[in-house]
Amino acid sequence: MIKQLSEFVDKLSYLADQISEFTTQHAAGIHRITDLLAYNPNEPLIFSTGLFLILFLGFSFVYMCLQNKLTARLLFVTAFSYYFYYKSSGFYFGLLALVTVSDYLLANLIYRHRQRKALGKLFVTLSLIIDLGLLGYFKYTNFFVGMVERMLEHNFQPWDIFLPVGISFFTFQSLSYTIDVYRGQLKPLPSLLDYAFYVSFFPQLVAGPIVRASDFAPQIRQPLTITRDMFARGLFFILIGLFKKAVISDYISLNFVDRIFDNPGLYSGLENLLGIYGYALQIYCDFSGYSDMAIGIALLLGFHFPLNFNAPYISTNITDFWRRWHISLSTWIRDYIYISLGGNRKGKIRQYFNLILTMLLGGLWHGASINFVIWGGMHGVALAVHKLFSQAY
């Protein structure tokens, strides 16, 4: 007995030595893998990277294994979506959880007290304060404080505030849910898991399109079905989006646009003009390419997203352009800002004012910079002028 015990201990010792030797020999590789999977602000997890392809293949295998297990599938996708966001913004995924839980609870309170308008208004206002408060702090604090400091002729040093990736998208998406419930256009989702799945669904989490709960919620608990047509269209959207993003946009940016924008004085007027047109092509291919990949990945998972870009550069006028460019945002600001301001229901002058104010806010949504505000204002004025002449003639 003692001899057998001694042999067993020797075997354990040998096994421990082998594990230690293996770990020592492969420490660099293990360290590389852990670094690859951990958050790195310089290497976010985006669709056009090899790491995402590897992770998505593993994800797809587990996803299909859970095809007939709804709750487990929702939990798995939500967990992967939070990891996807962690790879983009680190532990700021807590903000995503905060927005999710608060808006889910508030939407339920709004619906429960739907006969009491004052309470409903209070709860939807609280949702606006939480969501826009987070967005305002992380995205616009330095912009507004800097403006005040400059007006006071103080030397302003920007505060060290990290901007979580995609916060503009998931706050707007979550806000549309509580507002729709308040307006009586939508019933609350049946569980927090359903809502967390909707808000965090990784294909559209960090760069859109902004998917409404009214479009997405009915798909959550449907049987998982991926037809041949969905698979083919999903693959097509992914390939065309990857070509736009990784081939056209990145190539133009590195080899043409950036060089001209960095040193415009070194180039002729024609070359600078071509650089401007090149930049227009770059931002379109970058943004629409990523949206196309999001739509394609969602189709491969059995979900339908709305089209986000529809050949905007063939538009015949400024109004047509905004029906084709970033459609999910333009319809969002139309439905939740322009219409809330009164739309065209309070006379033509008020309509033009509403258009300009809406586009000013839309410009600010794109970036915390006076340039974006001016850009939004110019588009608002152009929309108002086009509306004026189209109504007159």
d(CA 122, CA 17): 65
Write the pLDDT tens digit of every residue in 202-244. 999 988 799 999 999 999 999 988 999 999 999 999 999 999 9
CB neighbourhood size of 118 (10 A): 8
The token pair at 261 is 């924008």
Per-residue pLDDT band at 44 (split at 50, 70, 90): confident
Are 208 and 306 in contact by the 8 Å Cβ rule? The answer is: no
For the segment 102-117, the average pLDDT, to the nearest whole number, is 91
For 249-289, write each residue's pLDDT tens digit. Answer: 988 998 889 999 989 888 888 989 999 999 999 999 999 99
Classify residue 133 by its DSSP letter: H
All structural domains of the chain with their residue ranges: 50-220, 225-306, 310-393
In this predicted structure, what is the pLDDT of residue 158?
82
Reported as half-sphere exposure (CB side, CA atoms, 13 A), residue 207 has a value of: 16
**Tell me, what amino acid is at 311?**
A
Residues in CB range of 237: below 8 A, 6 or more apart? 292, 293, 295, 296, 299
Percentage of residues of the chain with pLDDT beyond 90: 59
For the chain, list the strands marked E by DSSP.
none
pLDDT higher than threshold 60 for residue 191: yes
Confidence bin at 5 (pLDDT 50/70/90): very low
Token reading at 72: 């487990």
Strand, coil or helix: 143: helix
Mean pLDDT of 117-123: 89
Residue 49's closest CA among 207, 195, 208, 246? Answer: 246
Q: 173, exposed or middle or buried, with CB in 10 Å at 0-12, 13-18, 19+?
A: buried
Interacting residues of 123 by C-beta distance below 8 A, sequence separation 6+: 106, 109, 110, 113, 178, 182
Q: Is 306 helix (H, G, I), strand (E, B) or coil?
A: coil
**Interval 303-360: pLDDT, tens:** 999 999 999 999 999 999 999 999 999 999 999 999 988 888 888 888 899 999 999 9
DSSP 138: I
Q: 323 with 340: CB under 8 angstroms? A: no
The vertex-274 CA angle with 269 and 278, nearest 5°, equals 150
Catalytic residues: 366
> How far apart are alpha carbons 187 and 174 in whole angstroms?
14
The pLDDT mean for the chain works out to 87
Q: What is the pLDDT of residues 288-298, one digit of tens each?
A: 999 999 999 99
Torsion of CA 95, 100, 101, 105, to 10 degrees: 140
- CA-derived radius of gyration, the chain: 25
Q: What is the mean pLDDT of residues 57-62?
A: 93
Cβ atoms of 158 and 139 within 8 Å: the answer is: no
- Terminal alpha carbon distance of the chain: 104
